[in-house]
Amino acid sequence: MELYYGRHITGEIPKFSSSSTELGQDIHDWYENQDDKLSWLVRAPKETLTPTGLIGKKAQDWAEKEGLPEGSRLVSEAHYWKVLRIVSALKANPVSQKLLDNAAHKELSFFWEQFGLGLRTRADLMLEDGTLVDLKTTSCEDIDREFGTSVAKFGYHRQEAFYRLGLMAAGAPVRAMQFVIVQTSEPFQVRVRTIPRELIVLAEAAVAKTLQEIQRRVEWNDWTFEAAEEVRDLRVPQWIYTELQNA
């Protein structure tokens, strides 16, 4: 809730950005426009890059002098080829490619009012039968073994629960969301997975509770956070107890 307050109420916390998020955005851009030449990415000349091969002031000065096309982005040669390899992996996976082929809508937005709040969301794809598809990039070494942790860490189960609210508000069919997951390093695994229904049910209740709390705080302009002033036990993963008990 403190992050929500800082980012959406006061604007003091900017949207997080890093090389990982930029890579993910480029993959999403391809997913939306299907431009296999990645024509919006402009590769800086090798001699303008930093000693570690990254975009620095010299490359930025070159781009300013050249005048990049509107909507383009300056990247290194290595970044460009990594995006291209990830795109190739997504296209080579028959399940992933079939979802793209059957997309009825891309970057589909939903707007609705609920819990006294104006809400909105946007899905990467919607299939002809109303199924939503979301693309995720990951640094996991093994998607099937490790991506479940990413679901918990980044709240992808809550994301699906929130999207389901938008679908219901629009009177659209509500089906299990399909996540296309691709690694951002070799071997560039691609998997299409769904989140267990029982977890989504719990997430729906949690999302509703959170939205109700936001509505209350907005109505009363109450952004105090008592937990920050209290001494409490730290939440520790259950596996730590199990590991010690079995030692």
Specify the residue for token string 């990039």: 137
HSE-up (13 A, CA, CB side) for residue 195: 26
Phi, psi of 202 (to 5 degrees): -65, -40
Specify the residue for token string 């302009």: 221
Q: Which of 184, 194, 106, 117 is nearest to 148 (CA)?
A: 194
Domains defined for the chain, CATH in brackets: 12-92 (no CATH), 93-222 (3.90.320.10)
- Compute the distance between CA of residue 241 and CA of residue 116 in angstroms, rounded to an integer: 42
Rounded to two decimals, what is the model's pTM?
0.86
- Compute the distance between CA of residue 167 and CA of residue 172 in angstroms, rounded to an integer: 5
- Compute the distance between CA of residue 54 and CA of residue 6 in angstroms, rounded to an integer: 31
Per-residue pLDDT tens listing for the chain (247 residues) = 777 778 777 878 777 666 678 899 999 999 988 899 999 999 999 999 999 999 999 999 999 999 999 989 999 999 999 999 999 999 999 999 999 999 999 999 999 999 999 999 999 999 999 999 999 999 999 999 999 999 999 999 999 999 999 999 999 999 999 999 999 999 999 999 999 999 999 999 999 999 999 999 888 888 887 776 678 888 888 888 988 998 7
All residues at 6 or more sequence positions from 126 whose CB lies less than 8 Å from its CB, including other chains: 103, 104, 105, 108, 132, 133
